[in-house]
């Protein structure tokens, strides 16, 4: 079992006819993911065609869910309309909503998060690369890819990866795959200060997943989400965990690309987070080139297999 999504997960794409949404829907179809519906208000009844695939488009998420049994969505809707799109998915009773959109106003996300309290939908993102559960085929084809991550760098296996940053996630996954170590699921939770799923949420799921044998947790400056997850790992997680924190050289008060990556106080610097990781028994990667090796070191300490 992977976490959150499996190769059988039925996925709909909100914003499937936009350039960005269309491009990545094609890549997900090529990867073998079950993209069963698209939603673009006003284009219901049309089809999204790609090779042998003919994906029906609906006006609303509720219609798409009723007609196709989709349980997860990828949101590629532009920032001004993204909060609306997420809540439409929540109201339609989806299990999972993955918001790829970058640049959603923070106030919108504060309202979305409040409106989602007590609802069953899990939100991943926004401003994230999405989620990949690799498949068993060539270059991990046949898996579930929701979002914009390159599917082919993955390999089906037993390491869980969670990260706020897209390209840094790919870097970690690629290092693992190059060393012949596969992944159960790789989750990009996004770089915004208000997001749906935290490091801790994902780490707990990896801990509960018997197929996940080791975890790489990648964080960055700003906020205390990584610290929260690290303290939980110390108290509850027996699996080897490696960590990396980006932004050691970032100046205070400057936003480093991600809306969430700002050093505000003493607790959210890279140095403070790395110190907590070490205190919690998480093997820290010395450089970003060292992420897979750090996990190998952590696994060796406990004699855990990774592949």
Partner 1 sequence: MNIHEYQAKALFEKFGVAVPKGVPARTPSEFEGAIKQLPAGAVIVKSQIHAGGRGKGTFTDGFKGGVKFAQTPADALDYANRMFGNTLVTAQTGPAGRKVQTIYFAQATDITKEYYLAILLDRVTSRPVIVASTEGGVEIEKVAHDSPEKIFKIVIDPAVGLMGYQARELAFKLGLTGDYFKNAVKLITALYTMFWKTDASMVEVNPLITTPGGQVLALDAKVSFDDNALFRHPELTALRDLNEEDPKEIEASKFNLSYIALDGNIACLVNGAGLAMSTMDIIKHYGGSPANFLDVGGGASKDQVQAAFKIILTDPNVKGIMVNIFGGIMDCNTIATGVVAAARELGLTIPLVVRLEGNNVAAGKRTLAESGLTIHSADTMADAAQKIVKLVA
Considering the complex, what minimum distance in angstroms separates the CB of residue 230 from partner 1? 15
Q: Tell me which residues in 29-48 interact with partner 1 (CB under 8 A).
A: none
Q: Is 167 in the site for partner 1 (CB under 8 A)?
A: yes
**C-alpha–C-alpha distance, residues 254 and 128, integer Å:** 20
CB within 8 A of 236, min separation 6: which ones? Answer: 204, 207
Give whichever of 33 and 165 is closer to partner 1, judged by the CB atom: 165
Give whichever of 64 and 256 is closer to partner 1, judged by the CB atom: 256
The residues annotated with a catalytic role in the active site are: 258
Q: Is 251 in the site for partner 1 (CB under 8 A)?
A: yes
**C-alpha–C-alpha distance, residues 151 and 195, integer Å:** 23
Q: Is 122 in the site for partner 1 (CB under 8 A)?
A: no
Of these, 107, 119, 120, 305, which contacts partner 1 (CB under 8 A)?
107
Burial class from Cβ neighbours inside 10 Å (0-12, 13-18, 19+) for residue 152 reads: middle
Considering the complex, what minimum distance in angstroms separates the CB of residue 125 from partner 1? 14
Q: Tell me which residues in 170-229 interact with partner 1 (CB under 8 A).
A: 170-171, 174, 191, 193-194, 218, 220-225
Residue 53 has which token pair?
């695939």
**C-alpha–C-alpha distance, residues 83 and 282, integer Å:** 35
Q: Is 259 in the site for partner 1 (CB under 8 A)?
A: yes
Of these, 47, 69, 84, 103, which contacts partner 1 (CB under 8 A)?
103
Give whichever of 58 and 170 is closer to partner 1, judged by the CB atom: 170
Of these, 10, 43, 50, 113, which contacts partner 1 (CB under 8 A)?
113
Q: Which alpha helices (H) appear in the chain, and where do they start and end?
A: 19-31, 61-68, 79-91, 106-116, 166-178, 199-208, 225-236, 270-279, 291-302
Distance in Å from the first CA to the final CA of the chain: 15
The SS3 of residue 58 is strand
Q: Tell me which residues in 265-304 interact with partner 1 (CB under 8 A).
A: 265-266, 270, 286-290
Considering the complex, what minimum distance in angstroms separates the CB of residue 293 from partner 1? 10
CB within 8 A of 274, min separation 6: which ones? Answer: 243, 245, 248, 284
What residues make contact with partner 1 under the rule CB under 8 A? Answer: 24, 27, 79-80, 103-111, 113-115, 148-150, 153, 163-171, 174, 191, 193-194, 218, 220-225, 244, 246-251, 253-254, 256-261, 265-266, 270, 286-290
């Amino acid at each position: 079992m992977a976490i959150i999504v499996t190769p059988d997960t039925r996925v709909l794409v909100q914003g499937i006819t936009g350039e960005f949404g269309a491009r990545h829907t094609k890549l997900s179809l090529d990867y073998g993911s079950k993209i069963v519906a698209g939603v673009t208000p006003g284009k219901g009844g049309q089809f999204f065609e790609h090779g042998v695939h003919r994906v029906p488009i609906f006006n609303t998420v509720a219609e798409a869910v009723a007609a196709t049994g989709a349980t997860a969505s990828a949101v590629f809707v532009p920032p001004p309309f993204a909060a609306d799109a997420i809540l439409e998915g929540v109201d339609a009773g989806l299990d999972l909503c993955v918001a790829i959109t970058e640049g959603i106003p923070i106030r919108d996300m504060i309202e979305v998060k409040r409106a989602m309290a007590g609802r069953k939908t899990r939100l991943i993102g926004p401003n994230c690369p999405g989620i990949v559960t690799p498949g068993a085929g060539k270059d991990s084809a046949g898996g579930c890819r929701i979002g914009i991550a390159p599917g082919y760098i993955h390999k089906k296996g037993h390491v869980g990866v969670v990260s706020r940053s897209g390209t840094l996630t790919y870097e970690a996954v690629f290092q693992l795959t190059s060393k012949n170590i596969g992944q159960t699921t790789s989750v990009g939770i996004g770089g915004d200060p208000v997001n749906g799923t935290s490091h801790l949420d994902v780490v707990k799921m990896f801990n509960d997943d018997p197929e996940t044998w080791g975890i790489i947790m990648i964080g960055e400056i700003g906020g205390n989400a990584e610290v929260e997850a690290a303290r939980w790992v110390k108290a509850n997680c027996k699996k080897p965990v490696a960590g990396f924190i980006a932004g050691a050289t970032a100046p205070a008060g400057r936003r480093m690309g991600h809306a969430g990556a700002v050093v505000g106080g003493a607790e959210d610097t890279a140095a403070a987070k790395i110190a907590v990781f070490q205190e919690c028994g998480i093997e820290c990667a010395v450089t970003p080139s060292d992420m897979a090796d750090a996990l190998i070191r952590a696994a060796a300490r406990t004699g855990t297999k990774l592949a």
